[in-house]
Structure 1
Amino acid sequence: MRIGLQTWGSEGDVTPFLALAAGLVRRGHEVRLVVTDNARRDYRRHALADGYELVEVPLPGADAQSQERLWREVLALSNPLRQVEVILRHGYDPAAPAMLRAAHDMVARSDAVVGHFFAYPLRIAAEHAGVPAATLAIVHNCIPTRERAAPGLPDPGRWSHGPGWRLAAWILNRIFLPRYNGQRHAVGLPPVRDTMTGAWASPLLNLVAVSPQICRRPADWGPNHVVAGFLNPADAPVRPLPDPLERFLAGGDPPVFFGFGSMMPAHADARETIALWARAVARLGCRAVFQLPAALLPLVPQDPRTCAVEWADYRLLFPRCAAIVHHGGSGTTQSALRAGRASVVVSHIADQAFWGQELERLRVAGPSQRRQGLRARRLQAAIRAVLDDPALARNAARLGAAMAEEDGVRVAVEAIEGRLGKGVLP
């Protein structure tokens, strides 16, 4: 089959599609991947290594300064809905017309397409052309179910879940439907009435890129919802750890990892965050690995207990750490759990707080924190709760061992072949 893929967002939104593209190619499919990365990261080496076509649709004006301004504005807000509005207005809407043009072009040469659940231009182009389309979600709180509360709402009991999801739908519709229906109208398609069921979810196939150890499939989900598992490039070559990091790890007790991923673009805010980490480490008296963009490495105080790196392969680093302090991105969250390590989630935006709640529910994390207003004493206490509770470590090791047996890419590829068309291999 000729299969088109489209995604938008940060590295955590793109990596599952890199893994899926590689898996589809291994099954004999012809793959084109369209990427809009809000930081303009370069994924060409992945496409060259794995044998698929990569098309980059850049976000207009996505230079370092504009991204710093965007995230400074987002992180200054405590209301997740207002954060989403700002992200969409500055980080999505400017790219949407070009994303739609790229989607039309890809659909014209595809037998089936799979898009990030936020990538509504692909859904529109596919419906307009009559091409089968699936969605891929990197979090499992975007599909309604009576078995869990809607995201961001309290959970007083199962009786509240239905009304809660209706409230969530009303809120999301106010944010997303004008955008979605505006582009539908432009190509002559009728409007839809609900974001989650009409824009994000496909009636054919919705892949949930979350381990079934985390997301037990709700009984009220239809057969079009498939919990595939974590989609990470498991077959990608393992890159050795940098020599200074390797020497640091070999020279003492397992450290605590600190890394907030794409949530650290703003220089001034990063300085304060690094100081927060350093104070927490000093209070704990532990060793630590700080992961930061290269431009921020000089801001890390010189301390023999700390090693600062720009990049490290989590598959090699996380199993050698005592705990993982991170922002609650889907990829980092599942990488930590797959390594069998307990976490402390410091959420910055939107779904990150949900990931923290999920890890606490599974008893594999300390108390979740919010970045806004966080103090070293609270961060230190949350990390200490992980280091001092062997049950959390045992739970994380058990779930990590189970996740290591999963093959999310295989499940996703077989679902695409089975529900969107006949696979080329038996």
Structure 2
Amino acid sequence: MTTDASVSDRPGEAVSLPWLLAETTIIQALGTAAVLTVPALAPAVALTLGVPSSFVGYQVGLVYLAAMLSSLVGGAVVSRWGPCRTGQTAMALTAAGCLLASIPHLAGMIAGSLAIGLSYGLINPSASDLLQRHSPAHRRNLFFSIKQTGVPIGGIMAGLIGAPMAVAFGWGAVLWAVAATCIVLMLALERGRARLDAHANPATRLLRSAGLGLTTIRSDRSLLMLAAASFCFSAIQLCLVAFLVVLLVEELQMGLVEAGMVLAAVQVMGAVGRLLWGHVADRIHSGLAVLTGLAALMAVVSTTILFVSPQWPLAAVIAAFMLLGPDRRRLERRLSFRSRAPQPPARRRLGHRHRHIRHLRRRAGGADPVLVRAQSCRQLYRQLRRSHRPGPRRRLSRRRHLAARSPQDRRRGSQPGVNRRLRPAIVAGRGATSACRHTDSLTQKASDTP
């Protein structure tokens, strides 16, 4: 059942798309607000704790260290508990982390930062699973983009709302407000949890998939280089978020509220840049060229910021930081999908598919091996079709080639764009696809059995 307002993957169970989109976006915004609240209020927090403001870098490092560890098992947690329960767990951890961080002691800040980081690593897997399952395919990219706007929204909340509230009531009140909002949202999610978590498999092992991402990156040099570039981009952006308010307050003698407004402006520029650079990459058909140009721009602007002083015009300071604000992660994700396209050696291509099939069979638990093999063949067939899907120029040349062929060759039905060694796999995949239409429900029932 699919309509404009709801969609469902099970008969009689419709999910409200506006509610689902609002839920995932608000969770993303609250998680980001919790991460950025302490950096946005770093001078006031450091004064209370009796440490230098530069120590905020260690706090951000703890948050993202915990987020990195929890993200390794995020997919398995979603599979075992369900995406809605995972989102509730993330909100509970966020609330606990904010309450711990509000304690005016260094130990409380450390414990709170770790809890906030653990929650942040679970937010994206749960939201992605919900949108992937329940959003219509023709609007899925739009829904994911809207959900991701929760990141700049959270930054705007920390800058525009957090700084004035800290001046009026103290920085602890900001963390209490975030914690209270997370608790309210966690309780509100219970209403539709049973329906959204109906596909959860309690037999899933949490640590089994922890190293799959690292193994995939290590086995592909292009992904390894892209991960290294993403590391450099993220390092610059996290340094900007962590030390922007400290720099503006302590070096440029700006007020905390004004510095929060600059932080909010940088987050707005991040949202605009996400759309702008993605559009540019689509127009020139080269995400790598756009990322290279952005890397050069970031290097120049970062060097320029070394010479920032109170004598600089305020507009020039804000413009310099806003140039560092645009989010490049959308381009990196898009480029990562392209870098995983099959490369010339056919055996290497099929080797990746066979490893994927072995992983599916391990994850199937007590499922019938015949059904698992059919399911794997269907996924292999889909990947092979995507791998050999021609681009616009190749489609045009293929049409000309077919027009020039004789009627006998056309009736023969050969496929000039597909390697002959892959045709048996494609034929088998087509048969498996037809068979799997009748066995999907049996496979799901068997795989859910402990």
Do they fold alike, i.e. is TM over 0.5? no
TM-score by length of 2: 0.23
More strand by share: 1
Larger Rg: 2
More helix by share: 2
TM-score by length of 1: 0.24
